[in-house]
Amino acid sequence: MYCFNTDQVAYHRVADVSIGLAKQQLGLPITVVTNQSTRDSWHNAPDVNFIVVKNDTNNTKLGLPWYNLERCEAIDHSPYDCTTVIDVDYLCFSKKLLQYTETAHDFLIHSAAHDVSYRQALTYERKSMLPLVWATVLIFKKTDRVRKIFNTVKLVKSHYQHFCNLYRIDYRNFRNDYAFAIALHQCNGHHAYDIIPDSIATLPHDCTVLSYNDTGLNYRYQDKINRIESQDLHVLNKGFVNV
């Protein structure tokens, strides 16, 4: 996991929830890449392996700090032969990800996401000239091919505006989803590549989390209340840690 606090969001609190669920459901060792100020915010640090780095802060989203520029270093940061990278707001309510660590594929990523409140398509077909992937979850092994993919992501990061022009990407702030999409497109010779064969269940920002436990969460949107049970979930509203 990558975890960097901002003035707006205490991401280490979000990570605490994600770490607890990942330990329970996946039973895998966990490494958190963070900076020193975020590490110091953990007064009762979880039992994980910490890697402290000086993160790049030159990216924003909707005018606010968005610290997402280190994921291209995951192949170097990871101490594991097979690594699963997840966003700190991706909550494991199932053991689903384990099965993808046991395949012969050396790199897997989602190519689809869906809104669990059934109001948004979460599609970006008209935002660029190549299909988007979702870097919310990455599963990789340390092969020469995967090293080339990560090196290409680093290249895209260094020349992001050029690649935005090349692929006619409307989203001009650096986004890992596009960077990995470009790298996979180029490293695979513009042919199809392996993907995680399902869609990321996503709870949008405007949904309010009412409660959560080890198996799922309850949320409200306007006058409707629903529950997600035994389904991994990407929760975009970080305020859920306050319930």
CATH number at residue 148: 3.90.550
Length of the chain: 243
Domain that holds residue 151: 2-206
Number of domains in the chain: 1
Q: Which pLDDT does position 73 carry in this prediction?
A: 98
In a domain, 149, yes or no: yes
Q: What is the pLDDT of residue 126?
A: 66
Task: Please state, in angstroms and rounded to a whole number, the distance separating the CA atoms of residues 85 and 30.
Answer: 10
Residues of the chain with pLDDT under 70: 121, 123-126
Q: Is 229 within the bounds of a domain?
A: no
- Whether residue 116 lies inside any domain: the answer is yes
pLDDT of residue 243: 87
Q: Tell me, what's the pLDDT at 212?
A: 96
For the chain, list the strands marked E by DSSP.
Answer: 2-3, 31-34, 49-52, 60-61, 64-65, 82-86, 90-91, 107-110, 113-115, 134-141, 200-203, 208-212, 216-221, 224-229, 233-235
Q: Tell me what pLDDT residue 121 has.
A: 60
pLDDT of residue 127: 76
pLDDT value of position 124: 67
The string of pLDDT tens digits covering residues 41-55 is 999 989 999 999 999
Whether 217 is covered by a domain: the verdict is no
- Indicate whether 7 belongs to any domain: yes
Say what the pLDDT of residue 120 is: 73
In a domain, 77, yes or no: yes
Residue 43 lies in a domain: yes
Instruction: Please check whether residue 238 lies inside any domain of the structure.
Output: no
The packing angle between helices 144-158 and 176-187, to 10°, is 130
